[in-house]
Every structure is written in structure tokens, then in C-alpha cells.
């Protein structure tokens, strides 16, 4: 028996002896390194929910976009999604019967039911933006988005399609780990599920789901999805309450991390797909090929909230050509640069500036807000930390200014605050 075998009897046969030490063959070493890398990757994916700040910004961005849209259109809500719209309840019934879309507005044509759904949509947008009971709020938010948009499918400007998809994806993510009331509750009380509001809210949702199941309001797919979600959240609450440090909680954390990371990956893939398809479709258009595509919407009254500014831009052929070609180049190139941090960040900034310009020049603010919120999933964490620190500093300065104001003085007409 060789000397190396005496020293290392547990080493695989066939290993070479070098300086009295048995070494594994090159193929075995490569395989061992691959196994170690795979183990680290699995531990990374299952051990934590990645991108906490990115998912929080996506949550805040999309919920704020939907909330502001509903508030702006509040005077016209009945014409957009309600009983006074050109897309009647009967037409919506026929369409949904053919495409099997989900909308609780089709449960009744009552005006009271429509107002209730609209009010809940507004409330869920606010609560999701603040991160209060985020899992339940995200479910109500998704139901509100799908119900209103599927009720009147022709109301939208492109951003509604993005919100439609992201409302579903947000339910799968742990998007309230930071910058949320849930995160604050977890710091103060040791658990984000502490308090009675969570069980009460899920009890109400369970009653609604049960009513939908009994009355055959849900399709089998949606019924299974809602039932699974309700059961998982109930189990999570019980384990978090009675066994917060046990193996059951650890297993649920692993499952939640896997679902979150998969959802975040889908969001990133969706953004890349949006830009890739938009860019390649533009390449096929003759107006984009000759660099004049931007000129034509700048001459339409519907897309010119600032006619003077649009006229100045349309009057410069060079600027129109550069913006047209630049838009196509950035959209086509972005999906291929996501793994190069520096180039990706540059293109990301250009795309956000492009959407800001669309909001101002073409009068599409909610489309731009939705796309910027989607782009935020690729923002680097140091930038988001800097942004969050700046926002927190601004809030603290505002609070100090308010505390520094002199007390109100009583006057003949009541209390009057002194001017500062």
C-alpha cells in the first residue's frame, strides 16, 4: 500500500500521490467545486429574501401609481369602470364569459357594489404603499386592480398592463421587509403579525372567499389560488404565534424566501421582456428606422399638454432623430446589459429620464410612473440606501421645523399661529 493511502484512506481511488499527499483527479476537483457552488447558491436563494429595498420600492411605486390614478379619476369613476361607462355591464359579461377574466365587479351591477369595490381599491393602494398588513393588503390590491381593469378593458394607456401583472407578482414577494409599517411593527413588537388586526382581516377575506366559492363566483383556478393563499397565511400566523423559533417557522421562512426570490426574478424578466419586445417592434417600423417617429405624436392635441414645449422639440429635426434612435437603442440593449453593473445603471438612468420626458411631453404620467416603478427593481442597493437616508433626513428636518414653530396665539377670531 502506498504511503499516501496510509495517510488518506478515505480519499477516492485513482487519486495521484504528490509529495506524499494524495490529490483527487482534476475532474473530481471540478465536480467538488461545482457542488460547493451549487450548495452556496441554494443556501443563498433559500436563506434570505433577496432585494429587500428593490422589492419595497416596487411595492411603493406601483401602489402609489394606482392610488393616484384612482384619486385623479374619482369624479369620472362611473364612466371609466362603472355603470355609466360606454362598456356596459352586459358587454363586460359577454367578454368575461369568453376570456374567463377575474372581476368581482361582475358579481352585481349595483351602484353600491361598484362604489364599495372602488373604495376598497383606493384603501388597499394606500395600505400597500404604507406596508400595513402587506400580505392581506396585496391580495385586496390585486383583486381591486384586476376587477376594475377587467371590467373595462379598453380604459388604459399601456401602464395599466404593467400594473395588472405586477399586482399579481407583488402577492408572491416579501416586499415589506423594509420601509413599511410591518417592518416597524416587527422591530417594536418582535413580529410583523403581532396584534389582532391581521386575523380579523384574514377572517373577513376568508368569508368573502367562502361566499365566492359557495355561489360559484370564482373559477377553479382562482378558487384554488385564494384557498391555498388563505391556508398558508393561517398556518404562518399560528406558527409565528406559538412556535416562533421552531423548525416549522424555519421551514416556512425557506418556502417564503424561495417564492419571493422566484417572484422577484419574474418581475425582472418581465421588465426585460417589455423593453426587448418594445425595442424590436420599433425597429420594424419605418418611422423609427428613418428617425422621425417622435415627431408625429408631438403634433397631436391629445399628446401635447404643453404645446409650446412640444413645438420647440418638434422643430428640431436633429433632436427628434437623436431621441428616436436613442429610444430604440436603449430598449434593445438593456436586456443584454443587466449583468454588467455599470452599463446597466447608465441605461437604467436613461430609461427613467425617457419616461419622465414622456410624462411631461406626451401627458402620460401614470404610464411613466408604472414603468419607472418597474425599472426600480434594477436599482443598486447603495443608491436606494442613500435615497432612503435622504428621505428620512428630510422627514426629521420637517419635524424639527414644526417643533420649532412658536405656539398658536389666541386672537379675536380664534387661535392664530404666528408668522415665521
**What is the per-residue DSSP string for 33-87?**
HHHHHHHHHHHHHHHS-S-HHHHHHHHHHHHHHHHHHHHHTGGGHHHHTSTTSSS
* Predicted local confidence at residue 9, as pLDDT: 46
* Phi-psi map region of 341: left, alpha, beta (phi>0 left; psi -120 to 50 alpha): alpha
Q: Which residues contact 44 (CB under 8 A, 6 or more apart)?
A: 50
Residue 182: burial class (beta carbons within 10 Å; 0-12, 13-18, 19+): buried
Q: Are 56 and 176 in contact (CB under 8 A)?
A: yes
Interatomic CA distance for residues 376 and 50, integer angstroms: 14
Distances (CA, A) of 292 to 72, 232, 297: 33, 53, 10
* Predicted local confidence at residue 414, as pLDDT: 45
Backbone torsions φ then ψ of 17, nearest 5 degrees: -100, 115
* Predicted local confidence at residue 16, as pLDDT: 55
* Predicted local confidence at residue 17, as pLDDT: 52
Closest CA to 106 of 93, 119, 115, 117: 93
Residue ranges for the chain with pLDDT beneath 50? 1-12, 410-411, 413-420
- Stretch (H or E) spanning 410: strand 409-411
- Cell 413599511 belongs to 180
- Stretch (H or E) spanning 131: none
Amino acid at each position: 500500500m502506498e504511503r499516501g493511502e496510509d495517510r488518506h484512506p478515505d480519499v477516492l481511488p485513482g487519486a495521484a500521490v504528490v509529495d506524499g499527499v494524495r490529490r483527487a483527479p482534476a475532474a473530481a476537483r471540478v465536480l467538488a467545486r461545482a457542488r460547493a457552488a451549487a450548495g452556496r447558491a441554494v443556501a443563498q436563494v433559500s436563506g434570505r429574501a433577496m432585494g429587500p429595498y428593490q422589492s419595497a420600492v416596487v411595492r411603493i411605486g406601483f401602489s402609489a401609481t394606482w392610488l393616484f390614478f384612482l384619486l385623479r379619476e374619482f369624479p369620472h369613476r362611473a364612466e371609466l369602470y362603472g355603470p355609466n361607462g360606454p362598456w356596459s355591464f352586459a358587454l363586460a359579461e359577454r367578454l368575461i364569459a369568453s376570456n374567463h377574466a377575474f372581476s368581482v365587479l361582475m358579481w352585481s351591477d349595483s351602484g353600491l357594489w361598484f362604489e364599495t369595490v372602488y373604495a376598497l381599491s383606493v384603501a388597499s393602494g394606500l395600505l400597500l404603499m404604507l406596508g400595513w398588513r402587506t400580505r392581506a393588503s396585496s391580495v385586496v390590491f390585486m383583486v381591486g386592480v384586476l376587477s376594475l381593469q377587467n371590467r373595462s378593458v379598453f380604459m388604459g394607456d399601456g401602464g395599466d398592463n404593467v400594473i395588472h401583472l405586477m399586482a399579481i407578482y407583488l402577492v408572491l414577494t416579501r416586499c415589506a421587509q423594509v420601509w413599511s409599517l410591518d417592518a416597524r411593527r416587527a422591530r417594536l413588537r418582535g413580529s410583523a403579525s403581532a396584534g389582532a388586526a391581521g386575523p380579523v382581516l384574514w377572517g373577513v377575506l376568508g368569508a368573502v372567499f367562502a361566499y365566492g366559492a359557495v355561489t360559484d363566483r370564482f373559477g377553479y383556478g382562482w378558487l384554488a389560488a385564494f384557498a391555498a393563499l388563505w391556508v398558508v397565511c393561517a398556518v404562518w400566523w399560528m406558527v409565528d404565534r406559538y412556535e416562533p423559533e421552531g423548525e416549522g417557522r424555519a421551514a416556512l421562512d425557506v418556502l417564503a424566501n424561495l417564492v419571493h426570490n422566484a417572484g422577484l426574478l419574474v418581475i425582472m424578466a418581465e421588465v426585460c421582456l417589455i423593453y426587448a419586445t418594445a425595442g424590436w417592434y420599433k425597429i420594424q417600423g419605418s418611422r423609427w428606422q428613418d428617425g422621425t417617429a417622435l415627431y408625429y405624436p408631438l403634433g397631436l392635441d391629445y399628446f401635447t399638454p404643453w404645446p409650446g414645449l412640444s413645438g420647440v422639440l418638434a422643430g428640431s429635426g436633429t433632436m427628434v432623430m437623436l431621441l428616436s434612435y436613442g429610444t430604440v437603442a436603449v430598449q434593445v440593449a438593456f436586456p443584454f446589459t443587466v449583468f454588467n453593473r455599470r452599463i446597466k445603471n447608465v441605461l437604467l438612468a436613461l430609461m427613467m429620464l425617457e419616461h419622465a420626458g414622456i410624462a411631461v411631453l406626451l401627458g402620460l404620467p401614470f404610464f411613466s410612473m408604472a414603468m419607472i416603478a418597474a425599472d426600480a427593481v434594477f436599482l443598486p442597493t447603495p443608491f436606494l440606501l442613500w435615497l432612503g437616508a435622504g428621505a428620512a433626513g428630510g422627514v426629521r428636518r420637517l419635524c424639527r421645523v414644526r417643533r420649532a414653530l412658536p405656539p398658536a396665539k389666541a386672537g379675536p377670531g380664534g387661535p392664530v399661529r404666528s408668522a415665521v
